[in-house]
Structure 1
Amino acid sequence: MSIDIQSQEKLKYRLEGLSCANCALKIEKAFSSEVTIGETSLNFATQTVYLPPAALEVAQRIIDRIEPGVILRPINQSSKSLEQEENSSDVKWKKIRMLGAGMLLAIGLILPVLNINLPLALEYTVFLTAYFLVGYEVLYTALRNITKGALFDENFLMALGTIGAIAIKQLPEAVGVMLFYTVGEYIQDLAVNRSRRSIQALMDIRPDYANLVHQLDVQKVAPEDVQVGQLILVRPGEKVPLDGEVVNGSSFVDTSALTGESVPRNMEKGDTILAGMVNSSGVLTVRVTRPFAESSIQKILDLVENASSRKAPTEKFITTFSRYYTPAVVFIALGIAIIPPLIGMGTFSEWVYRALTILVISCPCALVISVPLGYFGGIGGASRQGILVKGANYLEALTKVKTVVFDKTGTLTQGVFDVVKINPAKGFEAEFLMEITAAAEAHSSHPIAKSIRESYGSAIDQGDIEDYEEVSGKGIRARIKGYDVLVGKAVLLKDSGILIPDEEHGIKGTLVYVAISGKYAGQILISDRLKFGAKETIRALENSGVKTVMLTGDHQTVAESVAQDLGVGEFHADLLPQDKVAWVEKLMNGDSQGKVVFVGDGINDAPVLMRADVGIAMGGLGSDAAIEAADVVLMEDQPAKLLTAIEIAFFTKKIIWQNIFFALGIKLGFVFLGAIGIATMWEAVFADVGVALLAVLNATRVNRHTSLES
């Protein structure tokens, strides 16, 4: 019977005890090749994976084959924290074994220096006891993997290298390499867990409880247990647990966890408040509008945690490279062990030792660990700044941006409109023009429609509206008080054969044209203001060699005025939604070397956001459409956040390539030194474990960098 993988809902599970990045890659590959699981991505940074519940037994068998001791648990049943894993009895026993092995190694090395020569049997006993104390897990794992056909992993390489050293009577080096490898792995695990904790600290914005108002009582409950429509109490200093509307009280709230904005916001009755904000002063009573699973904070957490499922090209390259790198080094070592002595360039013992040294060097752990940790640190650090990046591929794409395309209204301008001038045509009164126009805009949610209704100021009688039709991208056609009315762009009136006067030059604003009963009735001038920081953002992009383009559905004269004020390099006006998509596609086809980014408000620009190489939604706080359509969401409505996102992307990429060149350079350098007999196994263990540890510590700089910025 075949299994429809696509129809199975995948749930999140944690892999308790997973500390080996190379093993994580093998598990992910095995999962994805298993028909009952299907393509999936394992997040090493958070120790999580999405799996079909029906395939859990298969998944656990795969784990047991590759990394015994790792337990697969549902995320809500995960029993161990990182601190508990670090302080478990297995870890304590490991510390004792490392200490015992270290003492025995010290005894074996110091006694000959003191001219105390142990009998050969006792010397072997001291060194081999130390060797097995720290090496039996490595030997067991290597043997188990060999029986299952899994060669060329770090356990096999370490076992082969150290057993070979014992065979050629290099006991101190065999014990030292195994001891330092074990200690290095332990310290490396601590460093990885430290990085994980810093990542989990970013997730600490998740609220722990809600104060549910129950009749005259207030009960502390889990946020998941609160229903839509119920009332919750948020006291000073508490996190807001769910999205809702303030029904009583006023207070300042800290939104920095969601938006990166340091200035508190004032919340009063009727305001929308979101989960993850922190109440600073007064007591607020909130009516819940969305369940916790659909709250803004939960969507943010899911986006950040699941971003690793979209791997960057660099990450994919390293994954592929590591599969071929280790076998290649093993065969090089084999050639070094055999060929030189056969052609009379020394003894077998000498060249075998050099080959064993190279084997110890060859494990690719430094690359496998540091690259995903670096990207996850960048994504997590960006979220701290109020920038949600849906995947490492988008973070890397931001380093290749050559063109940034902006929507105008709500992106570069505030989208807060005011009626500044009413120009009725001959035969029409301004008051009547506003009344008819406001009635026509009664059902529209567009900011311009809202500004017209507010300027009119009187109640609109819905009974006057007999017919209503929105003409996409052009305006509104309606029948009001018996009149056939057209309200919108000039093209709407022209399509109906209505003549309009020529546009005045130098107009700074948006013109809304009105026709009543087939006659031109006048126009209303609406003004919009530039967003704070928009001009500086455009200037910074242009100065860095990035082309800027503005696309708008507004009139040519209005678009030209805004473009000149901003300093935008290129603009196109009078565009429908499909026209914006066509322009972005044209720009993408014309610039094959770089990426084209589109920045919009995330509500009206969904098609073009999805079409661009990277779609960025600005002001996405609480906007479902923005979070769904965009690849990157700027939670705060600030154009300058785009520059921050690009800067974080470049810093993350710099750290990752530092690790790649550092790890490969050190390893290849030591392979060469080992081949010519300069590097011994003592240096080899640094080239393996030491380099991995340094690469992990370097990857954590991404988190520290974004922390300093915030």
Structure 2
Amino acid sequence: MSEKCCGSNEKELITIEDNEPCCDHKTVNAPSADTGHTDGCCSYHPEKTGSENETDSCCASHQSDEAMETEETSCRTSSSSVVEFPTGNTTPAPSDKGEKTEYRIHGMDCPSCAVTIEKGLNRLDDIQEVNVNYNTAKLQVSGSSALSLDTIENEVQKLGYTAEPLKQNKHYRTYDVVGMDCGSCAKSIENHLSTISSVNDVRVNFSTGKMKVAHENSVDDIVSEVSKIGYKASLLTDSNKPAEKTKNKEKYGLITVSGILIALGLIGSFTALPIILSTLLYAAAIVISGYKPVKSAYYAIKSRSLDMNVLMSAAAIGAALIGEWFEGATVVWLFALGNALQNRSIEQTRKSISNLMDLAPSEAWIKVGTELVKKPVEDVSVGETVVIKPGDRIPLDGEIIQGETSVNQAPITGESIPVDKMIGDIVYAGTINESGSLEVKVTKLVEDTTISNIIHLVEEAQEQKAPTEAFIDKFASIYTPIVFAIALAVIVLPPLFGFGAWGEWVYKGLALLVVACPCALVISTPVAIVSAIGNAAKNGVLIKGGTFLEKAGTIKSIAFDKTGTLTEGKPKVSDIDSLTVPEDELISLAFTLEDYSTHPIAKTVVDYAKDTGIQPKNGELFKSIAGKGVQATINGKTYYAGNLKLFKEMDISLDSVKTNVEKIQSQGKTVVIIGTEQEIMGIISVSDTIRNTTIEALKGLKQAGVNELAMLTGDNEGTAKMISKETNVNRYFAELMPEDKVGAIKQLQKEGHKVAMVGDGINDAPALATSDLGIAMGGAGTDTAMETADIVLMADNLEKLPHTVKLSRKALTIIKQNIWFALIVKFVALALIFPGWLTLWMAVLSDTGAAVIVILNALRLLKVNE
């Protein structure tokens, strides 16, 4: 055995077998002595590291026992291999893929905006990869170390949007700085903080008043250092972000001003006011409302992106050039108003994630000796003790080491009733401590908590395109350029061949340009999917993407694993039939006999005796009889506990009990017979009880339109038949091995059903994978379940399954409604252009108005209740 450097943390050691490559455990994030590669493996077997570059890592040359050393890094190929990592103020080199930074983008009102931002950023020299997701409003950028964060934010701002670094970016913290009045102030702060050894990097932006600092010391230290040179800094947190609200107010203010100008111009045109004055009022309105879209259009064209800003700007400018000033002003005003309403509505869908993020507290009270110290949750380590007062939210996942309470787990599992917790039980971050004071040993870092995993999975789900969404996006990418080309042809060709005046056809072409915006159509699906996934997450159900949401809406058959899904999975004593001795005496004998057995049924009998307060007798000469039962000597007499087969072999007359035993077994119960070699003293029946929520859940599924409910079990035919009657499932498959469950799923599929499989995500993995939709239960306690299934029920019951099916079907209905509505509005607008009935402002209204209606329709999914 030896210790090797396999941890991602500095100088972390783990003990493994000699000659076993540590790459099978963890990756060492340190530069190798030979190559400088950052993801090397300190191992005797470099060939297992997985890539050519990594095989050059620090311990690759096992042939030589000479130690490889550099000034800051050493690695020895002895039996105690150690890599010493560089210490001090060293910034790790970026990997080949570059460092990934995440931003929240404000101002996107349809997926084409995301394409524009991607194209704009891809033009930057140091950018390696850009991914913008409209659904979650997230931007992920990978770039070289030379890439400045300010460069990204400035480029996004040029395109007409705002980029806000996410707090998940662990390298930098963002501060507000007050008191700067010129660019040299920002430079002074940068120069001062750069002299501090615990500050790795600092960037101050005078125009935004923001400072980004990568530092190892405390926030208070940074604030203090900034105050030394005459400025006031404060950490920018979720609780003090007024910027977006302020921008919204400014946006609505500008819309109001331009609206008033248009109204005054319109009034003036009906009075004796000079025409030039009305024109100037319209022109002012165009400048106020059109500045942002025109600026964004300029950068979109530079990025070779044909988005709605380009189309609207062309329509507004074109209208002004042909003298239709009122039309041009109305176009940009309606466009600005529509965008503002869209943004406001879209934020409602995105709140499903931000609300989840707000569940867990940002700080925790840590017990240090006899004192309590408040710490940010990011600074709390595994093993530390957190103290949680009654009524407080639990800040991190952990195990209770002191205290008893009831915990409201609704934020995680959707359960409406608080769960009793005691010493040894696990509690989750974001849940609420209802009553007693608790001391909890932290078992997971903040980024690994169950709530963090949920947020990560939900965001990933919202970033994945559903089949319908992918089809619509493809349709829109073809539709827009075709209509754009037709619009240009309409402007140029008819007047060129003498079919009418230029002004008439230019106007029709501009209206066609506006109709070319597929905004309502493109937005119809993603908003509905984001809303539905957000609703499900709030109710303790994780749907891992739009694909699975759509599949859930088409499911007509659901197969359930029996043990632990339909039933509790924990056998309980259901009946006691005492024949020749009092019941308490029978239980005491059973307790004595079964206490030395390891069989699950024996444990059930022992637990029952303990719960009823009955004491065991003094037994000796315990013996296990394989496949039949147990025996022991009590007060000099031999007693037995076992099955019918055991007593048959002892030639005891079973006529009085055989019929009763067979009847009990036909009900799916297991029989434990207690007796001696002379008589049967009594029968104890043990059964796996059906969950309280099962029958109601299955009833709800049938009401939701799931016609076929099947049960898969390894139990015998009698047990399966009895459970199927009690639960009301349509059919059952009995005496199945795990691999047989796959065959049952395939059989249901051959019968023409779209089949979902519900199991625990571990034992039922093959069946879950074979089914059209895999649904796992109890995700709050099982990381495997969260990883393997398509849908995860966080609570360990079926209570939320009917809601999930109803929500999915409602989502499919709303998606279809949105698509048809958007298409009909678009085709009606197209049909009205050529007779000359469609005005420019009506075209804008048909586009932005339809988009707002589509969004509001999708928002109904946030309100779908059980």
TM band (smaller chain): 0.7 to 0.9
1:201 and 2:355 correspond: yes
Bigger CA drift: 375-384 or 329-338? Answer: 329-338
2:420 corresponds in structure 1 to: 266
Partner Cα distance (2:122, 2:858) in 1: 30
Bigger CA drift: 187-196 or 548-557? Answer: 187-196
Given that 1:256 and 1:277 are in contact with CA atoms closer than 8 Å, whether structure 2 keeps it comes out as yes
2:268 corresponds in structure 1 to: 111
**3-state SS of the aligned residue for 1:189?**
helix
> Partner letter of residue 532 of structure 1?
N
Structure 1 residue 688, shift from structure 2 partner = 1.8
Q: Which of 546, 549, 561 is residue 722 of structure 2 equivalent to?
A: 561
Partner Cα distance (1:612, 1:254) in 2: 33
2:244 corresponds in structure 1 to: 86
Partner Cα distance (1:688, 1:584) in 2: 46
Given that 2:529 and 2:811 are in contact with CA atoms closer than 8 Å, whether structure 1 keeps it comes out as yes
Partner Cα distance (1:2, 1:700) in 2: 51
> Partner letter of residue 263 of structure 1?
I
Structure 1 residue 687, shift from structure 2 partner = 1.0
Bigger CA drift: 259-268 or 645-654? Answer: 259-268
Q: Which of 573, 581, 604 is residue 451 of structure 1 equivalent to?
A: 604
Pairing 1:585-604 to 2, within 5 Å after superposition: 585-591=746-752, 594-604=753-763
> Partner letter of residue 829 of structure 2?
F
Q: Which of 321, 324, 329 is residue 478 of structure 2 equivalent to?
A: 324
Q: Which of 717, 738, 749 is residue 577 of structure 1 equivalent to?
A: 738
Given that 2:265 and 2:279 are in contact with CA atoms closer than 8 Å, whether structure 1 keeps it comes out as no
Pairing 1:358-507 to 2, within 5 Å after superposition: 358-419=512-573, 441=598, 450-451=603-604, 454=607, 504=662, 507=666
Structure 1 residue 552, shift from structure 2 partner = 0.9
Structure 1 residue 289, shift from structure 2 partner = 3.0
Partner Cα distance (2:106, 2:837) in 1: 38
Q: CA, structure 1 residues 227+314, in 2 after alignment: closer, same or farther (shift >3 Å)?
A: same
Pairing 1:18-167 to 2, within 5 Å after superposition: 18-26=107-115, 42-50=132-140, 52=142, 54=144, 57=147, 64=155, 67=159, 69-71=161-163, 73-76=165-168, 77=173, 84-88=242-246, 94-95=251-252, 97-119=254-276, 124-150=279-305, 152-167=306-321
Larger helix proportion of the pair:
1
**3-state SS of the aligned residue for 2:104?**
strand
Query: Could you report, residue by residue, the CA deviation over 1:34-67 in whole angstroms, capped at 9, with x for unpaired residues?
Result: 9999998644343224555659949976993893
Given that 1:538 and 1:568 are in contact with CA atoms closer than 8 Å, whether structure 2 keeps it comes out as yes
Bigger CA drift: 343-352 or 449-458? Answer: 449-458
> Partner letter of residue 103 of structure 2?
R
Q: CA, structure 1 residues 406+12, in 2 after alignment: closer, same or farther (shift >3 Å)?
A: farther
Given that 1:541 and 1:547 are in contact with CA atoms closer than 8 Å, whether structure 2 keeps it comes out as no
Give the total of aligned pairs. 662
Query: Could you report, residue by residue, the CA deviation over 1:513-539 in whole angstroms, capped at 9, with x for unpaired residues?
Result: 99xxxxxxxx99631111223234334
> Partner letter of residue 144 of structure 1?
Y
> Partner letter of residue 159 of structure 2?
E
Given that 1:102 and 1:130 are in contact with CA atoms closer than 8 Å, whether structure 2 keeps it comes out as yes
Partner Cα distance (1:512, 1:36) in 2: 73
**3-state SS of the aligned residue for 1:451?**
helix
1:659 corresponds in structure 2 to: 818
In structure 1, runs of 5+ residues without a counterpart are: 424-428, 469-474, 481-486, 491-500, 515-522
Partner Cα distance (1:289, 1:605) in 2: 27
Q: Which of 675, 678, 695 is residue 535 of structure 1 equivalent to?
A: 695
Partner Cα distance (1:513, 1:252) in 2: 36
> Partner letter of residue 111 of structure 1?
G
Partner Cα distance (2:623, 2:379) in 1: 44
Bigger CA drift: 579-588 or 386-395? Answer: 579-588
> Partner letter of residue 597 of structure 1?
A
Given that 2:122 and 2:130 are in contact with CA atoms closer than 8 Å, whether structure 1 keeps it comes out as no
TM-score (norm 2): 0.67
Given that 1:3 and 1:36 are in contact with CA atoms closer than 8 Å, whether structure 2 keeps it comes out as no
TM-score (norm 1): 0.81
1:687 and 2:831 correspond: no
Q: CA, structure 1 residues 325+3, in 2 after alignment: closer, same or farther (shift >3 Å)?
A: farther
Structure 1 residue 293, shift from structure 2 partner = 2.8
Partner Cα distance (2:735, 2:121) in 1: 48
Structure 1 residue 411, shift from structure 2 partner = 0.8
Partner Cα distance (1:513, 1:181) in 2: 77
Partner Cα distance (1:18, 1:316) in 2: 22
> Partner letter of residue 796 of structure 2?
D
1:526 corresponds in structure 2 to: 686
**3-state SS of the aligned residue for 1:237?**
coil
Answer 1 or 2: higher relative contact order, Cα 8 Å, separation at least 6: 1
**3-state SS of the aligned residue for 2:564?**
coil
Structure 1 residue 395, shift from structure 2 partner = 1.2
Q: What is the percentage of aligned positions where both structures have the same residue?
A: 33
Partner Cα distance (1:404, 1:449) in 2: 34
Q: CA, structure 1 residues 12+405, in 2 after alignment: closer, same or farther (shift >3 Å)?
A: farther
> Partner letter of residue 283 of structure 2?
L
1:610 and 2:765 correspond: no
Given that 1:206 and 1:298 are in contact with CA atoms closer than 8 Å, whether structure 2 keeps it comes out as no
Partner Cα distance (2:699, 2:352) in 1: 35
Query: Could you report, residue by residue, the CA deviation over 1:606-650 in whole angstroms, capped at 9, with x for unpaired residues?
Result: 332233221111233322222122221112233232111101111
Q: CA, structure 1 residues 92+31, in 2 after alignment: closer, same or farther (shift >3 Å)?
A: closer
Q: CA, structure 1 residues 511+96, in 2 after alignment: closer, same or farther (shift >3 Å)?
A: closer
Given that 1:509 and 1:526 are in contact with CA atoms closer than 8 Å, whether structure 2 keeps it comes out as no
Q: CA, structure 1 residues 98+639, in 2 after alignment: closer, same or farther (shift >3 Å)?
A: closer
1:219 corresponds in structure 2 to: 373
Query: Could you report, residue by residue, the CA deviation over 1:106-131 in whole angstroms, capped at 9, with x for unpaired residues?
Result: 33322231122245xx5554433332
Query: Could you report, residue by residue, the CA deviation over 1:375-428 in whole angstroms, capped at 9, with x for unpaired residues?
Result: 1111111122111212121111111102100000111112221256899xxxxx
Partner Cα distance (2:777, 2:699) in 1: 18
Q: CA, structure 1 residues 701+413, in 2 after alignment: closer, same or farther (shift >3 Å)?
A: same
**3-state SS of the aligned residue for 1:568?**
coil
Q: CA, structure 1 residues 42+651, in 2 after alignment: closer, same or farther (shift >3 Å)?
A: farther
Bigger CA drift: 95-104 or 631-640? Answer: 95-104
Partner Cα distance (2:560, 2:98) in 1: 37
Q: CA, structure 1 residues 2+380, in 2 after alignment: closer, same or farther (shift >3 Å)?
A: farther
Partner Cα distance (2:369, 2:790) in 1: 43
